[in-house]
Amino acid sequence: MKNLAFIGPVALLVIWALVSAFNLIDVFFLPSPWTTINELWNLLYSKSIFPDVYATLYRITVAFGLSVIIGVPIGILLGSSEKIYRSVEFLIDFFRSTAPLALFPLFLIIFGISDASKIAVSVFTASILIIFNVAYGIIHAKRTRRLAAQIMGATKAQIFIHIMIWEGLPQTFTGLRTALSWIMAVIVATEMFVGSSTGLGHKIIDFQITYNLPGVYATILLTGFIGYLLNLLFVIIEKRFLHWSTR
C-alpha cells in the first residue's frame, strides 16, 4: 500500500514530460520537469532560497501556535453547551465560508504592511476552523458512552473532561490539520502582496516579474513539498496521540 503513494507523483511527472516533449504548451510558459527540477536543485544548492523558506516557516509556526491557543479553548467552551454553540453558529459558518484573501486588505489597514497583518489574517481564518471542529467533535461525542458514565455515577464535569473531550479529539486533530494547511496557503498568498521582502510567495512573484518561469515552478514545487512534509509530521503526531481511535 505504501508504494501506491508514488503513483501520483510519477503520473504527474510523466504527464508533465509528455506535454513538454510534444510542445502542447510553449516551453517558455511550461518548462520541462527536468529543467524545473534542475532549477530547484540550484536554488537549494546555492542556499539562495533558504532565507525565504525560513521566513515562511516562521510565519506559519507563529500563526499556527496562536491559532491553537485561541481556537482550542474557545472550541471547548462552545462544545460544552450546544445552546451556546448554536447561538454563534451563524458567525462561525459565515467567517468559515469567507475567503481569507478577501479579508486581507482589512487586516492591512489594521495591522499595517508587516508580518503582523499576514499572521493575523491566517490566525483569524485558522482559529475559526479549529473552533468549529473542536466544538463539533465535543458536541457529537458518542451518547452511549456518556449514558454509560452517567449510570456509573460520573459527574457532568467528569463526563465532559474524560469522555466528551477525548471523544472529540479525532475531530479536533482534523481541524488542526486543516488549519495548518490553510495557514500555509494564506501565508504564501499574502507574501505575494506589497510589503513583503522575504518568503516563498515573495520569491514566486520575484521570479514571475523577471520572467524566470523555471524559478516560479521550482518554488511552487518546493512550497508543495514543504506543505506535504508538514502534513506528514502532523499525521505522525496524530497517530501517536490517537492510536486508540477507531475512525
| pLDDT tier, 247 (very low <50, low <70, confident <90, very high otherwise) | very low
Residue 146 pLDDT exceeds 70: no
CA–CA separation, 122 and 178 (whole Å): 12
Q: Give the mean model confidence (pLDDT) for residues 11-29.
A: 86
Lowest mean pLDDT among 70-74, 96-100, 151-155: 151-155
Residue 116 has pLDDT above 50, yes or no: yes
Residues 184 and 60: beta-carbon distance below 8 Å: yes
pLDDT band at 68 (very low <50, low <70, confident <90, very high): very high
- Write down the domain spans for the chain: 1-30, 41-241
Does the structure show a pLDDT above 80 at 208? yes
pLDDT at site 13:
86
Virtual torsion, Cα 230, 104, 84, 66, nearest 10 deg: 40
Mean pLDDT of 109-122: 90
% of the chain residues with pLDDT over 70: 89
Mean pLDDT of 83-96: 88
Predicted confidence (pLDDT) at residue 216 exceeds the cutoff of 90: yes
Each residue's pLDDT tens digit, 31-67: 999 999 999 999 999 999 999 999 999 999 999 999 9
pLDDT category of residue 3 using cuts at 50, 70 and 90:
low
- Residue 128: the pLDDT is 94
Assess contact for 55 and 198: CB atoms under 8 A: yes
**Mean predicted confidence (pLDDT) in 94-113:** 87
Q: What is the CB neighbour count within 10 angstroms for residue 139?
A: 18
The per-residue pLDDT of the chain, averaged, comes to 86
Q: Which pTM was predicted?
A: 0.87
- Most confident of the ranges 96-105, 147-156, 176-185: 176-185
Do 120 and 65 contact (CB within 8 A), yes or no? Answer: no
- 41-241: CATH topology is MetI-like fold (1.10.3720)
Query: 151 or 175: whose pLDDT is higher?
Result: 175
State the DSSP string of the chain. -GGGGGHHHHHHHHHHHHHHHTTSS-TTTS--HHHHHHHHHHHHHHTTTHHHHHHHHHHHHHHHHHHHHHHHHHHHHHHT-HHHHHHHHHHHHHHHTS-HHHHHHHHHHHH-SSHHHHHHHHHHHHHHHHHHHHHHHHHTS-HHHHHHHHHTT--HHHHIIIIIHHHTHHHHHHHHHHHHHHHHHHHHHHTTSTT--SSHHHHHHHHHHTT-HHHHHHHHHHHHHHHHHHHHHHHHHHHHH-TT---
pLDDT band of 77, cuts 50, 70, 90: confident
Average pLDDT over residues 238-247: 66
CB 200 within 8 A of CB 223: yes
Return the higher-pLDDT residue of 9 and 59.
59
